[in-house]
Amino acid sequence: AQSVTQLGSHVSVSEGALVLLRCNYSSSVPPYLFWYVQYPNQGLQLLLKYTSAATLVKGINGFEAEFKKSETSFHLTKPSAHMSDAAEYFCAVSGGSNYKLTFGKGTLLTVNP
Amino acid sequence: DGGITQSPKYLFRKEGQNVTLSCEQNLNHDAMYWYRQDPGQGLRLIYYSQIVNDFQKGDIAEGYSVSREKKESFPLTVTSAQKNPTAFYLCASSIGAGGNQPQHFGDGTRLSIL
């Protein structure tokens, strides 16, 4: 069984501030972890993925995430927020050969000027 | 450019009517998926298909049906048995069905009830 918890359904930051979006997972097998971004009325776009290589994963648009097994976490960060980062972000987990991708409920990021 | 095309972007259904949502991909991916998205609930898996002529139910398959006659196409029918069909529907594909394969998404179809 696998599950994802995203802490905070809505996060608001100022432009130029640090972005931190939290994701905790549970998985009965070594996990594969993903972050996706969704802009209004669009599909999901892959930001980055962890597939058991380096624990610090760099993605597109300046985002990165660190896999911490001891904390079962995969938080998403960006040093300096930009207005164009405003969107909904989803963390997802799968495991082993299991096709199933389990999504968190999403975090809406607002960036204030 | 390769990608996933969903059509139509907006769809309206009358009571008692079946409607079909189209999903076509030119990524040469073997696996395809249908998700339903409701506000604040994330994405829930309706059906998935690992190869042509084979598909499996996901977590919320009741009231939905699919077919996979061609590798490129995975249409979803929302039947009259689905009592609460209003939602945003997303189609996705991946190279294979292994857990380490990221899924690529279309731009979705928004279904509403008249």
E-strand ranges in A28-101 read 31-38, 44-50, 56-58, 64-68, 73-78, 87-95
Q: Which residue has the higher pLDDT, B9 or B15?
A: B9
Q: Is A60 helix (H, G, I), strand (E, B) or coil?
A: helix
Tens digit of pLDDT for each residue in A2-57?
899 999 999 999 999 999 999 999 988 888 999 999 999 899 999 999 987 788 99
Contact B21, B109 (CB under 8 A): yes
**Which of B37, B46, B50 should we substitute to test contact with A (largest number of A Cβ atoms within 10 Å)?**
B37
Is some CB atom of chain A closer than 8 A to the CB atom of B39? no
Contact check, Cβ <8 Å, A90/B107: no
For residue B90, the tally of other CB atoms under 10 A from its CB is 26
* B41-60 mean pLDDT: 93
Amino acid identity of residue B60, one-letter, is I
Is some CB atom of chain A closer than 8 A to the CB atom of B98? yes
Q: What is the mean pLDDT of chain A?
A: 93
- Specify the pLDDT at position A67: 94
**B41, B50, B106 member nearest A99 (Cβ):** B50
The conformational region for residue A110 under phi > 0 = left, psi -120 to 50 = alpha, else beta, is beta
In chain B, residues with a C-beta closer than 8 Å to the C-beta of A106 are 40, 42
Which residue in the block uniquely carries the two structure tokens 């998205």?
B37
In chain A, residues with a C-beta closer than 8 Å to the C-beta of B61 are none
Backbone torsions φ then ψ of A110, nearest 5 degrees: -110, 135
